[in-house]
Structure 1
């Protein structure tokens, strides 16, 4: 998700996106521990997306 996309989201949309991203992050981490995923950079990208969503959510309050 791009920064511009995140800035245009409402507070409720940010919360929904954050919940989805966190769920995907934990699933991907678990899958990676069991057997290596094809693209481990996805884990890092999801972590950064979660941070961006949290930052924007804090700014909207």
Structure 2
């Protein structure tokens, strides 16, 4: 998910996506602990998506406080 796509989402949608991505990351980690994933880069990709979502959410919070 690109940053430009994230910025188009509403704040509520971003919060929902963060929760979904975190649940997905937990599932990926558990599956990887049991048996190796076909593509372990999915773990990194999921963590980066969570970070992007949180960054945009925090940016919006700061902009609201300034206005």
Shorter-chain TM band: over 0.9
SS in 2 for 1:36: coil
Deviation at 1:36, TM superposition (A): 0.2
Runs of at least 4 residues of structure 1 off by over 2 A? none
Residue deviations 1:41-61 (CA, integer Å, cap 9, x gap): 000000000000010110111
Q: Which runs of no fewer than 5 residues in structure 1 stay unpaired?
A: none
TM-score, scaled to structure 1: 0.96
Matches within 5 A, 1:19-34: 19-34=19-34
Task: Give 1 or 2 for the bigger CA radius of gyration.
Answer: 2
For residues 34 and 24 of structure 1, the distance between their equivalents in structure 2, rounded to whole angstroms, comes to 16
SS in 2 for 1:9: coil
Q: Cα RMSD over matched residues?
A: 0.5
For residues 3 and 15 of structure 1, the distance between their equivalents in structure 2, rounded to whole angstroms, comes to 15
Number of matched pairs: 61
Hey, what does 1:4 align to over in structure 2?
4
Residue deviations 1:5-32 (CA, integer Å, cap 9, x gap): 0111111000000000000000001100
